[in-house]
Amino acid sequence: MQRSLPFQLFRYAAIALALAITLVPILWMVSMAFKPFSEWQSAGANLTWIPNAPTLDNFRFLFGDSGSDLIVALDRTAGKPILSSLLSATIGTVIAMTAGTAAAYGLSRFGSGANLPLALIQLRLFPPMAVMIPVMMMWAFLGLMDTWWGLALIYGIVTLPFAFWLMKTFFDDMPKEIEEAALVEGCSRLRVFTRVTLPMMAAPLAAAALFVFILNWSDYLIALLLTTREWVTIPVYMASLSSSMTGQLYGAKAALGLIAAVPPVILGIMIQKHLVRGLTFGALKQ
């Protein structure tokens, strides 16, 4: 049916508004990251969209370059927080996806553990602060405080429900007849899972892994409570970028935010051929 002109104009206006709401903060962050200290230290009319004198000083400042025009000095550079975020988020995603995929497949195919989905989702029902107090005590007892592997472990536990529920939905939508045919041909259940099921689930796995990685990568509260100095992550380190003389270091924060956006973007590009199929997996099932 042909849409009327007012409807088309309204739709395009809504799309433009949504794009503006989404892109304006990103464009402002990019602009701020390349502004010198003199352009972002003062508020008001001096702020401009395009830097008058683009510079990489904010990036150099994050990694301890004394040549930056900032008049403050960092007590620690951004290198270790970036490494901490990469290690903890990546390994936490591997833990969550491995355990979640195995649990989802078992429940989807064998139907055992009827209370398992509810038990897993309970991990996300409690307020984070209510759960983190006992976690902090356990992590201190086990010597996992302020370590990247302690963060990776808790990230894997916290995001396990997301991985489980996403993968269970995908397994439920996958026809069982393909696996049954392989079993008839003499394949063991483990061989069917590794050689037949997982290759067919590459797209859903990629979509779920990206979602879980973004959750781990952007976490602030858990990292704030379980790290003190040595292995703080990017969000925690970004919150500390301030000075008693200059206030908030907006240029340095924007530069770090731009760096933090790179890994999820690269991961999304690497698996983009699987994303659309993974996100729509089972949508046309009759």
Phi, psi of 127 (to 5 degrees): -60, 140
Domain ranges of the chain: 5-63, 78-284
Q: Compute the average pLDDT of residues 156-173.
A: 87
135, 154 in Cβ contact below 8 A?
Answer: yes
Which of 208, 209, 180 is CA-nearest to residue 109?
180
201 pLDDT higher than 70? yes
Token pair listed for 18 = 């949504």
pLDDT at 283: 46
pLDDT at 114: 64
pLDDT at 286: 41
Q: How far apart are CA 10 and CA 182, in angstroms?
A: 53
Q: Which residues contact 165 (CB under 8 A, 6 or more apart)?
A: 104, 117, 120, 121
pLDDT at 96: 94
pLDDT at 207: 86
pLDDT in tens, 117-161: 777 777 777 777 788 888 999 999 999 999 999 999 999 999 998
Say whether domain 78-284 belongs to CATH 3.40.190.10: no
pLDDT in tens, 55-86: 888 888 888 765 555 555 566 788 899 999 99
Q: What is the pTM of this model?
A: 0.84
Averaged pLDDT score across all residues of the chain: 82
Q: Which residues contact 196 (CB under 8 A, 6 or more apart)?
A: 178, 179, 182, 187
pLDDT band at 276 (very low <50, low <70, confident <90, very high): low
